[in-house]
Amino acid sequence: DTPVAHGTGDVVELAAKAPDLDELSARQSVCRACDRLVEWREKVAVQRRRAFADEEYWGRPIAGWGEPEPRVLIVGLAPAAHGGNRTGRIFTGDRSGDWLFASLHRVGLAALPTSVHAGDGQRLIGARMAATVRCAPPDNRPTPLERTTCLPWLAREIEMVEPSVRCIVCLGGFAWQGVWPALKQAGYGIPRPRPKFGHGAEAELVPPPSAAHRDPVLLLGCYHPSQQNTFTGRVTEDMLDDAFIRARDYGRA
């Protein structure tokens, strides 16, 4: 049976001892470490939105997905209540995902221009996605404690994909803030002072001492394709495409 985390200490231990990405994903998918998030994700899965009333919601933590040896790692904040929490895959079944995957497809990092449900045939090409918090939070705002509790899952995933990753893209300021402690925990050298988040912001990371390669890893900031950002024009298709072209090309170098 897959061991279940019921608190911060359990998350630390189970993440550290996960032998591979498949087992890490399995352990994440049954995590119950944060009472507020467990209550919310399961409540949403029962009450559902009217448009999805006939669908069975996932209602559990969302593990990272994509290639096991990605060149590009894309990090978001947390699953959406009626997106990833419904479909079981991050950025799948919501407006943000529509924008994100259309861009990834245009630049060659995704096989399809849409991401509707977990069995839709979508796949990432040379890329992987994860979130700083693995459960859908109320109002899309996890607490600092929830982010800290979830941190070992992300840090372990970053550690596991380190041999292949050349670029890490952070979607939004919360992901930018949340990824730094995970990078440090995974052994990366962190620049001082830490660069501020912005669309197109860049930072060079020193690979962990155990890394076979010594070339810098690029951390790249990208505005989140939220409805608020896309409706107001703060994020455009060209802006997303430019960010992912930069990530793709750096990852291939």
pLDDT one-digit tens code per residue, 29-54:
999 999 999 999 999 999 988 888 88
pLDDT one-digit tens code per residue, 161-210:
999 999 999 999 999 999 999 999 999 999 999 999 999 999 999 999 88
CATH number for position 107: 3.40.470.10
Going from the C-alpha of 158 to that of each of 78, 91, 93, 121, 182, the distances in angstroms are 16, 19, 25, 25, 8
- The verdict on residue 15 lying in a domain is yes
For the cut 90, the answer to whether the pLDDT of residue 212 exceeds it is: no
- The verdict on residue 85 lying in a domain is yes
Tally of structural domains, the chain: 1
CA distance 252 to 28: 30
Q: How high is the pLDDT of residue 214?
A: 81
The whole model's pTM is what? 0.96
- The verdict on residue 1 lying in a domain is no
Instruction: Quote the percentage of the chain above a pLDDT of 90.
Output: 94
Q: How high is the pLDDT of residue 94?
A: 94
Residue 71 pLDDT grade (very low, low, confident, very high; cuts 50, 70, 90) = very high
Average pLDDT over residues 222-242: 97
Give the structural domain span for 21.
Answer: 8-252
